Every structure is written in C-alpha cells, then in structure tokens.
Amino acid sequence: MFGKLKQYQFLFEELVKRDFKKKYKRTILGMGWSMLMPLLTLLVMKVVFEQFFGRNIEHFTTYLFCGNLLFCWFSESTNHGMRSLYGNAAIFTKVNVPKYLFLFAGSVQTVINFALTLVVFFFFCWMDDITFTWKFLLLVYPILTMLLFCIGIGLILSALFIFFRDIDYLWGVFLQLLMYGSAIFYKIDNFPPNMQIVFSCNPVYRHIAYFREIVLGATVPSWETHLALAGFAAVALLAGMFMYKRYNTRFLYYV
C-alpha cells in the first residue's frame, strides 16, 4: 500500500493541495482556524469544568489541553477519512488509481493542522511553568502511533461509509461518547480498578495519558504503554488494509 505512494507522488501532492484549498476557501483567517478552533474548544471546556475538576488537578489548563489536542486530531482525522472515499468517487470511477491515496492526502492535512496546534500547546506549557526536558522528544512516538491509528480507523470508516451512510450519524454519537470517556477534563484515579482497566482499553485515552506522563509528570511511560500504543495502531491499520483489499472492486457499485 505505502509502496505505491512514490509511483503516484504527483497525484498525491495535488490531492493534498486541493484539500487545503477546499478547506480554507473563502475564509479570512485561513489556516489560522486550525489553531483557533482547538483554543476556543479549550476555553469553553476550561470555563465549564475548571470549577468542578480544576481545583484538584495541578496545571489544569495544560492537563486539559493535552486531552483536547489529541482528541480534536482524532476526531478531525477520522471524520475526514470517513468521507474521503465517497467524496472522491468522481475521480476513481473514471481513473484507475489506488483509492487509499485520497485518505492519505487528507491525513497529511490533519497532521499539519495538529502540528500547528502543537506549537501553541508548547507555548501554553511555557506559560504554565512546565519544565521542558529531553523526554519531550519521546512525544514523537505517540504522535506516530496516533497517526497510524487514525489512518487505520479512517480506512475502516471510509469503506463502511460507502455501503452504509448511517455510519456518519453513528460515528458522531460515538465521538461524543468517546470524548467523555477519554478523561480529557478529569482524572481516573478515583475510579474503581475495573473501570480503570476499561479506560486502558481506550486508544485515545492511552495516547493522552502518554502525553501527560511526559509533559506533566516528567516520566517515561512503561514498556507496556509503548506496546499498547503500537498494538492499537497495528490492529487498526491491518483491519483497514484488509477491508480495502477485500472490498476494493465493490466500491464502484455503491458510489
């Protein structure tokens, strides 16, 4: 799958450019919205939840930003990925090109948006008197596994969306549930052990927890955490690739 990117490099680059132009067309701030939207969401969540949870959580703004940063990336990437195949049906029904290129192009866009917000996040860390250490370099690992995980989930959703348009509505409801189940604005320490195990099975929460251990705890996560993140990414990616390989020829009949 990834080997064909070189062969279709020109098409891939044009798709990335098109997606950027399409997203920010006729907007005044342009790419500025990529940084502004997470900040506005952060502001709303801080105002709403600080009185309930902020008193018991040190560096609550940074704690909240960690969760919001990764969840917004996951939400944007998977939503974009879900519609990537159906939205480009006019192209692949006429030209024989690898269909996953459309999703990969959208993933590049969301990664750039995430990178811009990450710069703002580091600025907030500095404002919140967070000590920067060499351990911050380890944040590359959860970013990479989250990228692969998002691509895998995007592949699965885009294939399902071709056959069942209801996925659009169901995924919206699921994301709402996932947001509250990812401990973005609260800690899980007070939950019973069996509930904490449930949280550990949530890939988004595990990525958020990794970020918090590095940024707020200044500790290196365990090998179990590293293996879990790699496992989530591998399972999602393999499942997505399997669905594309199995249903590749059937997509044309449902768009």
CB 81 within 8 A of CB 107: yes
Which position has the higher pLDDT, 212 or 42? 212
Burial class (CB in 10 A: 0-12, 13-18, 19+), 2: exposed
Mean pLDDT of the chain: 84
Please give the share of the chain, as a percent, with pLDDT higher than 70.
80
For residue 107, the tally of other CB atoms under 10 A from its CB is 22
Mean pLDDT of 203-214: 96
Mean pLDDT of 48-52: 67
Q: Is the pLDDT of residue 11 over 60?
A: yes
Q: How far is CA 235 from the centre of its chain?
A: 16
CB 171 within 8 A of CB 51: no
Give the separation between CA 247 and CA 242, rounded to whole angstroms: 9
What's the pLDDT band for 54 if we cut at 50, 70, 90? low
pLDDT digits (tens, 9 = 90+) for 140-199: 999 999 999 999 999 999 999 988 888 999 999 999 999 999 988 888 888 888 999 999
